[in-house]
Amino acid sequence: MNPESIANAIAAVVTSLGTLVGFASRRRRWRSEIRDNLSLVEEINNNTLLKEHTPAVAWLTGKIAVDVARLSGQPLGTPKKPIPWSNVFFSSIFGIGFGYWAYALNRNEFVWYSAFPGAVAILMLISLLGSFVNREIPPGSESGLPDGAHPVRTGDASEEISRSVALQALGEGDRYADDGQVGVAYRFITRMKAGQFNEAAQLADANWVLCRIQAWLWNNRDQFGGDVDRLSALANEMLQVRGDHSLWVEFTSSEVSSFVEAWQRLDPETLGGASRRRKVARDYELVVLAPVGDSGGYYVNSATIVPGALTFLMRRHGGRWVLASHLTAAPPAPGFPPAWWVVGDPSVEELEE
């Protein structure tokens, strides 16, 4: 047989096998599966029964998101501590050195004192191994959770991605968007903590701003007088003019100081929004933000006292969500002083019977 023909035949077989392996590779299978699943999502959307009565779209879109993350090389595992390369270097140097010393001592015959450099070499090997294993960072200590709470994080990043996409597909994730109920409450806290009262006020109902102005004027009535009609006219003028009013800077400075002092220990980065919707009236919902630390969130199976939780009343007004109250489940009532529906309000306590 012609050697050239044999070589060509072998090359053809190898090429075919390479092509087959290439098509069967994990990355190609992921791409193919993603394409198929995207087409399947469109078909499910056209099926009224599956779309409206089952979470099939949520499940499938979650899987697509995980596959795309893996295909693009995004890390999905539990976060790990960085490898201590200095420890790796010194452990390797000492391990090799003491290991060679033990070998040199036993080159001709075994001597008992070679056990000492050998033991050091073994310890260096163990230290070297420890630099590469057990580096996973725990999702958070459960001791910081309220009694009866259970951490929701599983450590499986793919489940976290699937859950997030599923919430969006089912419509629940809208509450956590920037313009959703939870998102607006969170942005309000963040801006107020940063001393940006005007920006925070843009996220609040005009009634809330009016009541804040009335409360400030009432608490400074030694400066502005106690005439309720005059105070009411001044409050309405400040509400309408806002930044262009001569008293606005003084008012906002006082407000920023009060909120920063009240929330000085509050870290917005550690807050999580309660997932259950709490409707209290038409276009009114309660949002609960609670500190979750680095636990990634938690869930409760029964009534649980959540330390440090903040309750915000949100109102849907003009097609968007705004803050209606930062204290209670009812919007404040304008007046002098305004009613915040808080037991023990000093302004109310001082009123004559």
What residues does each domain of the chain span? Answer: 85-130, 176-349
Instruction: Report residue 233's pLDDT band, with 50, 70 and 90 as the boundaries.
Output: very high
* DSSP, res 223: H
Amino acid, single-letter form, for residue 135: R
Tell which wins on pLDDT, 291 or 209: 209
Cis peptide upstream of residue 337 (ω within 30 degrees of 0): yes
What pLDDT shows up at residue 74? 66
For the chain, give the mean pLDDT. Answer: 79
Q: Give me the mean pLDDT over the 138-152 stretch.
A: 50
The β-bridge partners of 310 are 289
Give pLDDT, residue 352: 76
* Residue spans of alpha helices (H) in 242-305: 248-262
pTM beyond cutoff 0.85 = no
Check pLDDT > 90 for residue 185. Answer: yes
Q: Which of 29-33, 59-63, 209-213 has the lowest average pLDDT? A: 59-63
pLDDT for 290:
81
**Tens digit of pLDDT for each residue in 295-311?**
555 444 444 455 567 89
Q: Among 57-66, 77-86, 167-176, 241-250, where is mean pLDDT lowest?
A: 167-176
Of residues 321, 303, 313, 304, the one with CA closest to residue 279: 313
